[in-house]
């Protein structure tokens, strides 16, 4: 396996890890502190994606870095639309 293709796999694995740590919080309604790992893993994914110039990997890892803020915005927006009633 070429070293350059392993960077792509590492970057995609970083994205998958970031998605997997959000599953307990978003879908299972379990308070899990593992989402904080996205602040460490996502920049690593961006770093390895830049070596390959895989712009889609850079973008999705960058979005995962800001996923906490995106999910907070979506949650507050839905809460404002429903008047605070679930």
pLDDT of amino acid 78: 87
Predicted confidence band at 86 (pLDDT cuts at 50, 70, 90)?
low
Confidence (pTM) = 0.79
Span 48-64, pLDDT tens digits: 888 888 888 899 999 98
DSSP string across the chain: --HHHHHHHHHHHHHHHHHHHHHHHHTS----GGGGGHHHHHHHHHHHHHHHT-HHHHHHHHHHHTHHHHHHHHHHHHHHHTTT--
Span 5-45, pLDDT tens digits: 888 888 899 999 988 888 888 778 788 787 888 889 899 98
């Amino acid at each position: 396996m070429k070293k350059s293709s392993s960077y792509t796999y590492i970057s995609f694995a970083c994205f998958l890890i970031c998605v997997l740590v959000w599953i307990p919080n978003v879908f299972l309604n379990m308070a899990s502190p593992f989402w904080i790992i996205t602040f460490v893993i996502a920049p690593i994914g961006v770093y390895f994606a830049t070596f390959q110039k895989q712009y889609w990997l850079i973008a999705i890892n960058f979005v995962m870095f800001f996923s906490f803020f995106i999910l907070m915005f979506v949650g507050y927006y839905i809460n404002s639309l429903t008047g605070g009633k679930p």
